[in-house]
Chains A and B, each alone.
Chain A
């Protein structure tokens, strides 16, 4: 047991905390107002008095059919937006019948190999009324095209569809590692979606610039913040290079942050995020529209903080993390289920997770006024320090020539690896307590878990075989050829937007794998240089 005199008080990220904060820590600080530049206190004057955050549980498993049932269940339980989890083959641009999909179909999310699966996924769900977020990255343009095609089938005008596409390829190289193609062609595809969205889907967020995964990979809070915002700037640079005006697309850039365990560090992080982004939009990019400057974000409570041991403790962790996200002004929230360390959420577990949000929203009173912790000596000082530390990282990456050179040199990846090892050593030595794991252990009761067997894979393969038979294969072939030519481009001419070609291919029931193979032929496949 460490003597009190020796003990360092730090946030979970290692930021030192003073014994006391007082007026001198905020002297001269202009905290600002909610709804006013730079939006540190929130992007709306009334925040949750006007409208609650969207309760949006990330969900998907086994087959599109079973996932559709879960969506109906969650909406009936009071969830207010949908969020699609896809399985690993889909995330990696492989059909369910690909050799590499063996054993993986439906295990981490819903398998979607074609428009047919997307139709099943949203059966009975009115896309003109329900907002949908899709966690998909490398092949995001393809899944988005499928989604838009389903909306069209439902008679919903694309001007009305509302939702979010994660589509943040940079963080794949940094953290989640679900890349297919190399960085530059991938950025071209992302820019295609941003451009297409600006023209055709004014209510849809074509990108969700993410820190969640960076944090799950083991980064500190400041690294999560800095790498996310710098990724955002990279997307802005590419869209401007494409010829878009900042205010044409920036209002629809959205963000996704982790809601981790250190309560005040997280709230400070969200507040600093809004301030840094607002100032960057106005000063770095010359944005004129307020909507370009207002950072909107979804938050998910930290999966990596949840334990195998004593899983009911996870309900408590999730509640505290969710509270931080709410006090930090999130627009949308996913709360993890208690069985996070074991399996995809069981029905009972996900219901408790949703109820956690509902208790916060309706019973806790924290929604009654915007930024209720604003003016706290501790929080304002921590917000300022977080902002300064994040800006230092952003400048460092600027000096490297931007995020792509930084990624190619392994910079963010090595920062994350070092932080995650440092954290694990703290847990290992007992310096950092994880209740139930390295302290306060006790006998566990087994919990009921969602089981996903191999029948999902068999079902999906059979469906695909029938699809490949009955579709117009000549139309498929033509559409893939046209897509490949558009992807290749012609010499120095400005690249064509691939979205119209992808739309034609998906409507012909070309499969995800076939479309991605066309892209693989043109762009090649990316292999990362492994660094420990």
Chain B
């Protein structure tokens, strides 16, 4: 609640506007309180003076004739003075902020003091000799003018005080019967008025003075607050500078240790700075390149890549640019292929102040990619061509069209054909996964009836399942479901899952194939009664070359790529694939594909009707 700091300049703490309390938030009230406080402060001097003057009067005017009267007056004076002192004490120890009340009491005190002096004048003046009358008149005049100093901070308290003295005394003068005194009585109100005017002016001066002090307090307080703020801001600036310095050091460290080449250019392509990796990349030492034109030194002068016109467009475009195949020239004249990102740094006015280039040598990477591509192409053609002859020959023998062959021979040629086929599957799988992972794989999606794909694929795989003496059982009433998918790849996925299930089923077992449509997704389930998926294998079942154990490869065949391919293919078709334990033993592999909406279904139905 206290929005102000402690009062700043005060003569004595007890005379502050609030001794034990917070000062009033209203500046007008605070000034008023200051003026009341001043009254009380001065009243102390007034009390002392009253006792002193009272004592002098008593002594000077003492006569046995008026003994009782003088003693009574003196007692009254002491009583009033004691009361005023008590008021003064209680003001010092006040716990409230009711300044109006304290002023009222002070005014009553002033009136009482004034009236006391007035009575002294009225009683003692007529009863004493001429010289004593002059003495009394002077004393009273002195008391009237002295009161200005005591009461002027609130002028009307002085008016009450002075009126208290003047009215009884004037009355005595007027009724004394002396012409001179009568004239004096007529002049007294004039003096009174003049004194009131002076008191009033002083009152205003006091008010202005207190106001000035109050204003000064405000200004001083604001300045103090401002100082605190400035101090805080300075501290923040200091902290910010430390942070900037720290991050600068960090950045330098990053750049120095980074394996990426980092260069800084100005807007005219002059090299400003480079890190050790950039020195290694280009074969120049820092000193050989800094201050030189980067375009002439680092890039071949041709129509492609980073040249004058490219640089000009880049700087005026003020956007980062990445060049994934940028030819660069080393110090030894060797050309290297790099990947570079250029980032312009812009000031508040939008001017490019420097350009940061980050890059690396990708020559070897490109060579590796080229080799990989070549290898893939070799796999694709050079391996398949001899396999065509091998598998073709064996198949012709095994099919029996060439006539009867001895049983042992057929057995061996069947083994050879099967393994040839296995080799071919491996090659096909490798090619598939390579294409998918290099992003070169394209699907040929169309609207497919998932139920018919399942029917056809199961027919295709019957022969394979027969070899393991496993029955493939398709759900009797298949829910029709239309999906957008590549039909050839869908057959590949189902074949893979069904043949896996058949391979791992116990002899004489059944692989159940189901199709459910749940809202917007169709779910194909392939359920076997095999021994389940070992715990250690679960996490990596969809990764490449994943097989539960290598003996299975020899016993059951397969490349360990099938599920990896299935997963990627299904994901390319916006579906999901997974597996779960089948209640009662075995495993369920499933995949889900988004079902086509009614619109597509209708379109398909119409298409069917036309055909």
Q: Are the chains A and B members of one assembly?
A: no
Interface, chain B (partner A; CB < 8 A):
none
Interface, chain A (partner B; CB < 8 A):
none
